[in-house]
């Protein structure tokens, strides 16, 4: 940013910010009240954009709702 300001000499400088908040995803049975259920939709409604992160690693200390890691299925 400093180089761009130096080279182009804009009238003003506005630094951008990005706030990322983790919202737990849907789980099997969400439509029947499991996990966050309908609360998930109210959380998503409050954001301006969504990053979809899909797990592609296996770690026995990190649980998965389907008990196995399958990124293709999860996407």
Total Cβ atoms within 10 A of residue 63: 8
Q: From CA 15, how far away is CA 44, in angstroms rounded? A: 26
pTM (whole model) above 0.95: no
Closest CA to 48 of 10, 20, 11: 20
pLDDT (tens place) for every residue of the chain, 75 residues total: 889 999 999 999 988 888 887 766 666 666 666 666 567 677 778 888 888 888 888 888 888 878 889 999 888
Q: From CA 70, how far away is CA 75, in angstroms rounded? A: 9
């Amino acid at each position: 940013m400093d180089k761009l300001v130096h080279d182009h000499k804009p009238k003003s400088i506005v630094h951008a910010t990005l706030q990322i908040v983790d919202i737990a995803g849907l789980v099997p049975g969400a439509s029947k009240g499991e996990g966050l259920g309908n609360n998930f939709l109210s959380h998503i409604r409050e954001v301006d954009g969504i990053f979809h992160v899909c797990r592609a690693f296996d770690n026995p200390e990190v649980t998965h709702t389907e008990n196995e890691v399958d990124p293709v299925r999860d996407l």
